[in-house]
Amino acid sequence: MKIETVKGTRDFYPDKMRFRNWLFDKLRQVSELYGYEEFDGPFLEYLDLYAAKSGEELVNEQTYILESRGGEKLAIRPEMTPTLARMVAAKQNELRKPIRWFTIPNIWRYEQPQRGRKREFYQWNVDILGVESMDADAEVVAVTVDVLKALGLEKGEFVVRINNRYYLEELLKSLNLDLSLEPAIYREIDRIEKLKPEVFRANLEQAGLDTATVEKLETALRNRNFGDFKPLRDLWERLEQYGIAEYVEFDPSIVRGLLYYTGTVFEVWDPTKRFRRAIMGGGRYDNLITALGGQPLPGVGIACSDVTLEEMLEQLGRLPKLARTLDAFVVHYSPAERPTAIKVASQLRNGGLTTELSLSDLSLDKQLKAASNSGAHFAIIVAPAELERGEVNVKNLQTRQQQTVRVEELATILKGQL
């Protein structure tokens, strides 16, 4: 019987794990540079937590739902923001404001896997709560830009497209649109880039708009100038002060699917359009905490997945080359030297050097080959003749140069040469 991985899941062999750790380290470093603290929550939540605000599609179609033995409906987390909101609401008064938190949880969504999209993935979330002004939104965008730069992306390789849902609302009002049509209209607006113009027009006319209105809407959505709409003006002023205005652009067609967003919404895109989808997404959610029983507390956050980031880096040829690193590999000439080899290895480890010890009595040839394949900087060869003088051979596996070193000085000397 051959058992494979569950559809849409991944094994992280050490090679892959090295990349994942590298990625997470970058995400943590940048988050912490801005004063964000890491948190985590449970893998399972009550389904009700998502029922209210996450959006029908996400909850009904994409969430893994299971029943506990006690008959309660549980959900495997399909996103992290509701957990964050629940945690914040539960201890709202004792938490220092503003709340700056980040997390990298694994998230599950029942979707058709394809490139850049799995069923289990890790999702970096950065959130700031307790700030009403656009200062918070600007900070989140700044963290986002810095993360992408830290991952090695350069200007022109990504763009943060920003909109404000209230701007869009006013726009629709100015066109005298029936507000009951809004969800349908938003949906089409969100997809405008992917749809052919004819299809876009046809869809909207089907939703009840007349041709003249559709044309006006199209023109308005092409507008890259938000005029005197204050929240966006405030935001842009800050973005300029951060020095990141060159990485962002205003795009009135950004909507986002989650119901809880209010005000600012933004997405990171690949300007070359190699990805026909957002790489990151986020926005402001001013009502979510009250929806979960807390006092009013505004929030802004962004999320992205390890899968899309990896795909993005790969497409751009920016995947880091991460070799396994090991300081020393200790080999011995014959079984008689093994006790000393063990002592030598312990000594190196006590000195803080990562050290692998050969555990077999294979020929020196084989052991050196193993040392070479281990990725170690040095092979330490414990052999009888040198041992009589209290010395071991140290071979630099890159330069192939060999030196003789007194056992007591080994750790110190190696540290100096790494």
**Closest CB to RNA among residues 92, 255:** 255
Which structure tokens are listed for 166?
């209230």
Q: Restricting to residues 215-274, name those near RNA by CB under 7 A.
A: 256-258
- Comparing CA positions, the residue from 332, 337, 303, 261 lying closest to residue 53 is 261
**Closest CB to RNA among residues 35, 375:** 375
For residue 313, state whether it binds RNA (rule: CB under 7 A).
no
Which one of the spans 148-156, 225-233, 303-311, 409-417 is the region binding RNA (CB under 7 A)? Answer: 303-311
**Closest CB to RNA among residues 256, 284:** 256
Inter-axis angle of helices 165-174 and 182-190, to 10 degrees?
Answer: 120
Site string for RNA, 52-71 (x = CB under 7 A): ---x-xx---x---------
| Sequence letter at residue 76 | I
For residue 113, state whether it binds RNA (rule: CB under 7 A).
yes
For residue 332, state whether it binds RNA (rule: CB under 7 A).
no
Q: Restricting to residues 345-374, name those near RNA by CB under 7 A.
A: 363-366, 368-369, 371-373
Which structure tokens are listed for 147?
């993360």
For residue 406, state whether it binds RNA (rule: CB under 7 A).
no
Element containing residue 187 per DSSP (H, E): helix 182-190
Long-range contacts of 34-37 (CB under 8 A, 24+ apart): 34/100, 34/139, 34/142, 34/143, 34/146, 35/100, 36/100, 36/101, 36/102, 36/126, 36/128, 36/143, 37/100, 37/101, 37/102
Bridge partners of 406? 391
For residue 280, state whether it binds RNA (rule: CB under 7 A).
yes
For residue 324, state whether it binds RNA (rule: CB under 7 A).
no
Q: Tell which one of 83, 144, 358, 393 touches RNA (CB under 7 A).
A: 393
What count of other Cβ atoms lies within 10 Å of the Cβ of residue 112? 8
**Closest CB to RNA among residues 194, 222:** 194
E strand spans, 104-195: 106-108, 120-129, 159-164
Q: What is the Cα–Cα distance from 88 to 97, expressed in whole angstroms?
A: 11
Q: What is the Cα–Cα distance from 134 to 234, expressed in whole angstroms?
A: 6
Return the SS3 of 156: coil
Minimum separation from the CB atom of position 278 to RNA (A): 5
For residue 7, state whether it binds RNA (rule: CB under 7 A).
yes
3-state helix, strand, coil in the chain (%, to 5): 40, 20, 35
How many of the chain's residues bind RNA (CB under 7 A)? 64
**Closest CB to RNA among residues 186, 238:** 186
For residue 198, state whether it binds RNA (rule: CB under 7 A).
no
**Closest CB to RNA among residues 118, 238:** 118
**Closest CB to RNA among residues 350, 402:** 402
What count of other Cβ atoms lies within 10 Å of the Cβ of residue 375? 13
Strands 73-76 and 326-332: unpaired
Minimum separation from the CB atom of position 195 to RNA (A): 7
Return the SS3 of 371: helix
For residue 98, state whether it binds RNA (rule: CB under 7 A).
no
Binding residues for RNA, rule: CB under 7 A, are: 2, 4-5, 7-8, 55, 57-58, 62, 79, 109, 111-119, 121, 123, 187, 190-191, 194, 256-258, 276-281, 303-305, 307-308, 333, 363-366, 368-369, 371-373, 379, 381, 383-386, 393, 395-400, 402
